[in-house]
Amino acid sequence: MTVHFIGIGGAGMSGIARILLARGERVTGSDARESAAVLALRALGAEVHVGHDPAHLPEPPATVVVSTAIRESNPELAAARERGLTVEHRSTALAALTRGRRLAAVTGTAGKTSTTSMLTVALQHCGLDPSFAIGGDLATSGSGAHEGTGDLFVVEADESDASFLAYSPEVAIVTNIEADHLDHYGSPAAYVAAFDEFLGRIAPGGTLVTCVDDPGAAALADTARGRGIGVRTYGRAEGTDARLVAFRPDGAGGRIVLSLDGAEHRLRLPVPGEHMALNALAALLAGVAFGAPAEGLLEGLAGFDGVRRRFEFRGRAAGVAVYDDYAHHPTKVAAQLRAARDVAGAGRVVVAFQPHLYSRTREFAREFGAALGLADEVVVLDVYGAREDPEPGVSGALVAENVPLPPEHVRFVPRWAEVPAVVAGMARSGDLVITMGAGDVTVLAPEILLELSR
């Protein structure tokens, strides 16, 4: 049977396709444009078309895999339904691949990709070879998915559309719970309720790992205990199973003192930010829950060199360091700007932020503005709509208006072509520039570096 992916170049979709190819399945797909992911899949044996056309669909029997980003009006999806082909959501397809494996599912409003990646790298260092599917590419391997030889499987479980409810993990990590994705859930209460439902997906005898510094995650831990689910906690407070005792910025990383079940350890983490130190504690507890040795896991975390688009260094020109990051929720933006401040030292932080989704921009414009106020200079792009249609009156200007900095330090630049020159004009030697957002803002870093070099 053939598995056909509509939008195969996406991070989640390409990862599933990669695992299926490793298992010897026939994989076809389509995407709107050529990309590095598309080229890699072709090299592995996938048949990938550019553009969406019913002619690309395979003959039955076949399964068509889609993500939430694919609209019902997509010509391939419409034709697949008309022909009676099996259509599955991406999460359902990935959940099927995890059957028979000991599964770790990492979810939460923020920190999923980094925590999933840390757990994967730490387990690998312990001599294990877990399968994994991550919503970003590991910096070392350049891939976000792998078919391992062991019985462990680590997945980033996306809560944005409730697709994390497809998994049945032995170990579940919930990093935090804050209102998000209201375009799908409709209300913060419905979003929180989905995590309560997720508890019911944890396998009997399984473990919930969660951060009690976050009120939403702490409440979830209480609910889990009430249901008889094993809970392991981490955070800054005393009484947690893994406690962040101390954190000190150290160049582009951080030095950590932590306590694991009462034993003190020291760790130099190669990625910056106290939030990353907390993610490392989550990965440590999950690895221990799987039976891996703590010392080996800590050694693996010490060698973790990041994920692409998560505070990724893109280059330096005219004495200015340029980074790129995927942050697209106020909490994520604030965390990464604090990390940027640590790395910048005496230099200033200049951020170019692209809001993601009209609904999120409308709901959280004030919170985004407050978070961006942690920078010294702010450029706000227009909204990257992704799967949404424009909304009257909703633009990047809403965010820029809420940044609590003097007006001369905040610019709304709706014309894409003007952004690199504007950002480069703001920066001076010793500064740190970071492009930020879940859209195509990532392609601006080379253009900014070029403008700086001029």
Residues recognised as catalytic: 112-113, 156
User: 57: closest CA among 87, 79, 84?
Assistant: 79
Neighbour order of strands in the sheet with 2-6: 47-50, 26-31, 2-6, 62-66, 86-89
> Regarding beta strands 207-211 and 131-133, do their DSSP bridges make them parallel or antiparallel, or are they unpaired?
unpaired
C-alpha 433, offset from chain centre: 21
User: 331: closest CA among 220, 178, 181, 437?
Assistant: 178
Residue 237 phi, psi (nearest 5): -80, 150
State the residue for tokens 């080996």: 296
C-alpha 365, offset from chain centre: 21
User: 242: closest CA among 212, 222, 269, 221?
Assistant: 212
- Cβ of 150: how many Cβ atoms within 10 Å? 14
Is the CB of residue 259 less than 8 Å from the CB of residue 329?
no
Give the chain's radius of gyration (CA, Å).
22
Separation of alpha carbons 89 and 67, rounded Å: 6
Residue 79 phi, psi (nearest 5): -70, -35
Separation of alpha carbons 134 and 157, rounded Å: 9
User: 106: closest CA among 211, 184, 224?
Assistant: 211
